[in-house]
Every structure is written in C-alpha cells, then in structure tokens.
Amino acid sequence: MNCVIRRQVLYWVRYIHVKEALRMKYLIANSTAEVLEFLKEAGGTASILAGGTDLILDIESGKKKADTLVDVTRIPELKKIEEVDGFLEIGAAATLTEIQKNPLVRKYFPSLAKGCKTVGSSLIQNVATLAGNVITAQPAADAGMALSVLDPRFVLVDEEGTRECGVDEMYAGFGVSTLDSGRTLMTKIKIPLPNKNEAASFQRLELRKSLSLPMLNVAAMASIKDGKFEWVRLRMAPVGKGPVRAAEAEEWLVGKEVSAETFKKAGELALENANPRSNPLRGSKEYRESTLPVMVRRALLEIATQLNVMEG
Amino acid sequence: MKERLVTTVNGRRIERYVDPSMRLVDFLRDELLLTGTKIGCKQGECGACTIIMNGTAVLSCIMPVMKAMDAEILTIEGLEKDGTLHPIQDEFIKGGAIQCGFCTPGFIMGTKALLDENPSPTSEEVREELSGHICRCTGYKKIEEAVLKAAERLREEKDD
C-alpha cells in the first residue's frame, strides 16, 4: 500500500515539475524599450538573460527563479564597444571574447582584457558577458574584479528611467546583486579613459590556467607622478562580498615612493581588509593570507613597469 | 507553453515548436537525433557538447534552445562531405588523437572554429583555445599534433 502511495506522490511531483518547466516563456527582445515592456508584463517574475552560462544552471538547481526569460543579446545597441566623450563604453551584451579582442579595450585597459580572458574557458567567454559577470556577483568573478578598479559606471534602465551606479552599489552579498534582473536592465558599462600617468593591473592565483576558479585575485589601478603614487585603487577577491577594497593600503599608498619596500608594506596592509576563509577549492586561510600580499606586490609592480617607473 | 523555433542545422532549415526550458544539446540529440554531440558534465566545464553557432564555438549544454533562433548551427555530423571525412576528423584518426572518442566531437568542433579564425595557430594558441575541452585518455599531446597537422593540410588545400 505504502508503495502505491509513494508512486502516486512521485507521479504528482514529476507532473508538477514538468508542468512548471513548460510554463517557462522565452522572449527575444529587439530593443531596450521592448525589454522593459516584457519585464513589466511579467510583473517581476521574469529574468533578463544574456550569456546565461550561470543563470541556466541556477534556474535548474532552484537557486534562482524565473518563469520568463528575456534574451537581450540581439539588441544591436547593447553589443557596441566604443569610445564616447572620454569614456570607453561597453554594451551589456558584448561577450567576454568580444571585449578581450577589442582593439580599444586592449589599448586602454589591457588588464580588463586579461580579466575577461580568465573566466571559465574560451567556450564560456564566447557567450558570457562582462555585465553578467558583475550581476551574478560571485566574489571570484575575474572580469568583474579586473573592471572594479577602473572606476566603472553601470548604466541601468528601468520603468522610472536611466541611472548610473558605481561598483560598491552593485554588490549586495555573496552571489547577490543589488540589481533586480526582473525589473532593471543594465545597458552599458562606462569606463573613464586613463591619463598618461595611469595604469591598471590584474593578478590571479590559480591551480590551473583554465576552468579553475581563482584562489585569489587582485586588481589595481594607480596614478604615478614623479616616482610617487598620486592615488591607488586596490581591490581583492574572494575575501568577502564582491571586489573588496583594500582601503588601508589605498590610503597609505598616497604620496609614497614607488619602490619594492612600498609594495611590500602595501601587501601587508591589504590583509587588514581581507578575510579569506579556508576553502577546499581555494586553499587554507593561512595559505591565502600569505599569498595575498604577494599578489598585491605583483599588481603594483606591474603598474610601475607599464608606466616605465620600474623594471619588471 | 511551446515556442516556435526556426534555425539552420548543418545547412538544413528546421522549424519546430519547442519547450523553451530545453537545452540546445537535448534538442540536437533528442529531437533531431544528432547524437554526435555528447553530454559530459552538463555544467559547461568539459567541452564535450561543443558545437559551432554563427561561426563561434559554444557549449550547447548550457545554452537555452531558443538561442538557436535564426542561427546557423554546425555539429560534428555536418563536417563530412559526400562520405569523405573533414581533414580535421581525418587527422584526429590518423594521429591517434582519439581513444574512447567521447570528447572527440567537442574537440573537433572547437578545432574547426579555431582554424576558421586562425589558419596558422602556434602550439601555444592551440593549447589555449582548446583548454576548455577535457580528455581523460590521450594526454592532449596527440590532439595538439593532430590539430597542427590538420591546420597544415587545410592551408595546403586552400592554396591548391
């Protein structure tokens, strides 16, 4: 008897599951206006889909819910990468491959190209987007990390209009964005073009070169004048929520001479803001605490090398 | 709710009503019976399901079927011509770059996309471009050699 009931229950569970799957709608938007229209119609139960390399798996595992997917990858305006009024503008549907191969990105922000090139594998990069890398808000996201120190502004559009957001306003928690993909569309990412005395770097510690999440990654951007740091933006992950600012090190570095000693001290100070945990995939807390200062040193050295202040 | 899908697979125009929650790999295998494309991890981590969509190598296992709308898709079945294997397939066989064969369709499609874009890749570029494919038998060396041989042959054929 028990067996019969169990079978009946299993049947219903399966029936409901299949029903639910069949309820999913897939809409291909041709313009930003159409995206907003589709999102409004769904009343918050839809989700914007770009590359989908994380979203599809998250929906299947039940981590995320959406009964309508709005594909934004065919909106021409969202695919553009161009220089506009002192900014590099990257459309939210541009893939990581398109970004890393783009001559403007390579010219102005080689560290961003490097970050995009380390996400998953080239097969992932062929469909995944930089906007998606930020919105999935995984603390290990390499492209989002490389981007985070470039002072990016995220252009968001919803029913109420258009607004711009900075890095710290984007991350709500581990894997949680402040952006509600059921209501808001990111259209592009604007990055101010660097001055001659500014450069950026992205460093990564990993087990293998491909298909492996970083044990640590560090991104930095700095302005150097007369052999001294004018300002430094330094972020590290995954040591907390999103790209974590090494605020102590940033403040201390201002006005300091560009030297190996300075890099070393900055590396030590970075630990003040980092809380790396032991993780079977990423290594022990002790190991990650000993290697983080090295990554910071490498990042700063690379910047100094790019600006011809020091030899690499 | 089923959605109308119009796509081109291996040169054949296809129109079907599909469940949009389906992955592209399941559509290819279960609906079109093109079982040459393999499912390894179904997580986007092994490369076995690689196909070419609009000239780019992509993972069909983490791709919603509707992404194929109006696209040109090429699977391993579309490579041979009139019973003759594609030079890449041929070189994989000749060079012993195949053992169990499960990863091979993915590797070959990845190679095709690579050589279409870059006909003369260096060993380094081959390794880098194919790093998203996992093979548990061959140890990769023979695969790399087969890719470089195929590249050479394709260049020669083009010159003729």
The tens digit of pLDDT for each residue in A105-156 reads 999 999 999 999 999 999 999 999 999 999 999 888 999 999 999 999 999 9
Same domain, A183 and A110: yes
User: For residue A17, what pLDDT band results from cuts at 50, 70 and 90?
Assistant: low
Interface test with B, best of A69, A98, A122 (most B CBs within 10 A): A122
- As a whole number, the mean pLDDT across chain B is 96
Q: Is the pLDDT confidence value at A13 over 70?
A: no
Q: What is the mean pLDDT of residues B12-34?
A: 97
Which domain-ending residue is among A192, A223, A241? A192
Classify residue A4: in a domain, yes or no: no
Of B62, B110, B128, the CB nearest to A53: B62
Q: Is there a contact between A282 and A288 (Cβ–Cβ < 8 Å)?
A: yes
Beta-carbon neighbour count of residue A177 at 10 Å? 17
Of B19, B64, B133, the CB nearest to A52: B64
pLDDT > 90 fraction of chain A, expressed in percent and rounded = 81
**Residue A44's domain is classified under what CATH number?**
3.30.43.10
Q: Is the pLDDT confidence value at B73 over 80?
A: yes
Distance from CA of B145 to the nearest CA of A (A): 20
Of B56, B69, B132, the CB nearest to A28: B69
Q: Do A21 and B23 touch (CB under 8 A)?
A: no
User: For residue A281, what pLDDT band results from cuts at 50, 70 and 90?
Assistant: confident
Q: Which residue of B has its CA nearest to A128?
A: B58
**Residue A271's domain is classified under what CATH number?**
3.30.390.50
pLDDT of residue A280: 83
pLDDT of residue A308: 92
Same domain, A222 and A241: yes
Q: Provide the whole-model pTM.
A: 0.93
Place of tokens 């089923």: B2
Q: Do B19 and A21 touch (CB under 8 A)?
A: yes
Of A24, A126, A209, the CB nearest to B20: A24
Q: Do B63 and A120 touch (CB under 8 A)?
A: no
Classify residue A2: in a domain, yes or no: no
pLDDT of residue A22: 53
Q: What is the mean pLDDT of residues A47-52?
A: 96
User: A194-225: per-residue pLDDT in tens?
Assistant: 999 999 999 999 887 777 788 999 999 999 99
Which domain-ending residue is among A44, A71, A98? A71
> Which residues of chain B are within 8 Å of residue A49 when distances are taken between CB atoms?
64
User: For residue A1, what pLDDT band results from cuts at 50, 70 and 90?
Assistant: low
Q: Is there a contact between A125 and A116 (Cβ–Cβ < 8 Å)?
A: yes
Distance from CA of A33 to the nearest CA of B (A): 20
pLDDT of residue A15: 55
Q: Is the pLDDT confidence value at B150 over 80?
A: yes
Q: Is the pLDDT confidence value at B130 over 80?
A: yes
pLDDT of residue B30: 97
Distance from CA of A22 to the nearest CA of B (A): 5
pLDDT of residue A4: 66
Q: Do B129 and A122 touch (CB under 8 A)?
A: yes
User: For residue B115, what pLDDT band results from cuts at 50, 70 and 90?
Assistant: very high
Distance from CA of B160 to the nearest CA of A (A): 31
pLDDT of residue B68: 98
pLDDT > 70 fraction of chain B, expressed in percent and rounded = 100
> Which residues of chain B are within 8 Å of residue A127 when distances are taken between CB atoms?
58-59, 63
> Which residues of chain B are within 8 Å of residue A121 when distances are taken between CB atoms?
47, 131-132
User: A51-68: per-residue pLDDT in tens?
Assistant: 999 999 999 899 999 999
Same domain, A64 and A132: no
B3-78: CATH architecture: Roll (3.10)
Q: Is the pLDDT confidence value at A188 over 90?
A: yes
For domain B87-159, the CATH class is mainly alpha
Of A71, A97, A209, the CB nearest to B66: A71
What is the count of residue pairs from A and B with beta carbons less than 8 Å apart? 80
Q: What is the mean pLDDT of residues B50-74?
A: 98
Classify residue A312: in a domain, yes or no: no
> Which residues of chain B are within 8 Å of residue A210 when distances are taken between CB atoms?
128, 131-132
Q: What is the mean pLDDT of residues A180-192?
A: 97
Number of structural domains (chain A) is 3
Q: Which residues of A244-262 are buried (b: 16+ CB within 10 A; e: fewer)?
A: bbbebbbebbeeeebeeeb
User: For residue A9, what pLDDT band results from cuts at 50, 70 and 90?
Assistant: low
Distance of alpha carbon B104 from alpha carbon B101, whole angstroms: 5
Q: What is the mean pLDDT of residues B91-95?
A: 97
A interface with B, Cβ–Cβ < 8 A, is: 21-26, 28, 49, 52-53, 56-57, 69, 71, 73, 97, 120-124, 126-127, 209-211
Containing structural domain, residue A39: 16-71
Extract long-range pairs of A285-291: CB within 8 Å, 24+ residues apart: A288/A215, A288/A216, A288/A239, A291/A205, A291/A215, A291/A216
**Residue A131's domain is classified under what CATH number?**
3.30.465.10
pLDDT of residue A86: 97
Q: Is the pLDDT confidence value at A279 over 90?
A: no
Q: Do A122 and B45 touch (CB under 8 A)?
A: no
Which domain-ending residue is among A175, A192, A209? A192
ipTM value, please give it: 0.95
Q: Do A25 and B3 touch (CB under 8 A)?
A: yes
pLDDT > 70 fraction of chain A, expressed in percent and rounded = 93
pLDDT of residue A241: 87
Q: What is the mean pLDDT of residues A169-191?
A: 95
User: For residue A18, what pLDDT band results from cuts at 50, 70 and 90?
Assistant: low
- As a whole number, the mean pLDDT across chain A is 92
pLDDT of residue B139: 84
Same domain, A186 and A155: yes
Going from N- to C-terminal start, the domains of chain B cover: 3-78, 87-159
